[in-house]
């Protein structure tokens, strides 16, 4: 409805052409209020009184509760489970977290529906404050650091390990796993369905295009796209990129 209460005309086959419009960002500009003390107390109590196994079980039982109660429960349980957990975190439906005790989740982080965060018992995963993770994303969190204010497009994936494939002649999945750190700099933006391969660093403020497969580091403030991803240009016009 417009200000006068009248419904605006919809563009039809004979109507005006569809037009893009610019609106203010929502998630990135949000201010984060402290979580209510009762939530923090409840998480502390869970941490003191429940086993890790029980908490994980309860978290997964809460994963599909589509209500304010479910949202609160997921936040309380993950706060009890994670190494550290900021205020105002929002966890969507069906978010799976393996080895949550290896996670450090910053304030105001959003984790979209059906995202899978695959940690490792001795791994480390840091997700910086205010980062937005789109639905159906996959994170190999064996050694992953995502900076603050990162945008992670829906369905984008990061792989953090690969098999040596040696010796040849045995199934690849029987060979040793090499865990390679992946780093995503503050304020970077990862395109929908992009894939980051093990060992890459995405520089601060860089943009990775939709569907890109990133095999090499992307410099700060570069725009990289394609399969394999190549730097197209710098977001800072005065700087040259390789």
Ligand X SMILES: CC(C)(COP(=O)(O)OP(=O)(O)OC[C@H]1O[C@@H](n2cnc3c(N)ncnc32)[C@H](O)[C@@H]1OP(=O)(O)O)[C@@H](O)C(=O)NCCC(=O)NCCS
Among all residues, which ones are annotated catalytic? Answer: 163
Residue 128 engages ligand X in binding (rule: CB under 6 A): no
If you ran DSSP here, which 8-state letter would residue 174 be given? G
Instruction: Closer to ligand X by CB, 103 or 110: give it.
Output: 110
Residue 211 lies near ligand X (rule: CB under 6 A): yes
Nearest to 129 by CA among 201, 32, 202, 25: 32
Q: Does 228 bind ligand X (CB under 6 A)?
A: no
Q: Name which of 134 and 147 has its Cβ closer to ligand X.
A: 134
Distance CA 8, CA 16 (A): 12
Choice between 59 and 149, CB closer to ligand X: 149
Q: Are strands 157-158 and 138-140 parallel, antiparallel or unpaired?
A: parallel
36: DSSP letter:
P
CB of 22 to ligand X, least distance (A): 14
Asked if 70 interacts with ligand X (CB under 6 A), we say no
Which of 78, 207, 218, 220 contacts ligand X by CB under 6 A?
207
| Minimum gap (Å) between residue 220 Cβ and ligand X | 15
133 lies in the binding site for ligand X (CB under 6 A): no
Dihedral, CA of residue 192, residue 213, residue 185 and residue 234, to nearest 10? -90
Burial class from Cβ neighbours inside 10 Å (0-12, 13-18, 19+) for residue 138 reads middle
Contacting residues toward ligand X, per CB under 6 A: 134, 151, 153, 189, 191-192, 207, 209-211, 223, 225-226, 232
């Amino acid at each position: 409805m417009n200000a006068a209460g009248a419904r605006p005309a919809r563009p039809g086959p004979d109507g005006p052409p569809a037009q893009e419009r610019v609106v203010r960002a929502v998630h990135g500009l949000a201010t984060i209020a402290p979580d209510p003390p009762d939530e923090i107390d409840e998480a502390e109590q869970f941490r003191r009184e429940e086993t890790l196994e029980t908490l994980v079980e309860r978290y997964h039982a809460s994963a599909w509760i589509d209500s304010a109660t479910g949202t609160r429960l997921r936040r309380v349980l993950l706060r009890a489970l994670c190494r550290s957990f900021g205020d105002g975190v929002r966890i969507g439906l069906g978010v799976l977290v393996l080895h949550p005790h290896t996670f450090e989740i910053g304030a105001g982080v959003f984790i979209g529906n059906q995202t899978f965060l695959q940690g490792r018992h001795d791994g480390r995963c840091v997700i910086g404050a205010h980062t937005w993770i789109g639905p159906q994303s996959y994170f190999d969190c064996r050694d992953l650091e995502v900076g603050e204010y990162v945008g992670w497009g829906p369905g984008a994936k990061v792989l953090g390990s690969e098999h040596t494939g040696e010796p040849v002649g045995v199934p690849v999945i029987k060979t040793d796993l090499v865990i390679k750190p992946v780093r995503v700099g503050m304020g970077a933006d990862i395109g929908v369905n992009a894939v980051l391969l093990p060992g890459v660093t995405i520089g601060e403020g860089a943009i990775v295009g939709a569907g890109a497969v990133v095999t090499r580091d992307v410099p700060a403030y570069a725009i990289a796209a394609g399969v394999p991803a190549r730097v197209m240009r710098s977001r800072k016009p005065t700087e040259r990129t390789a």
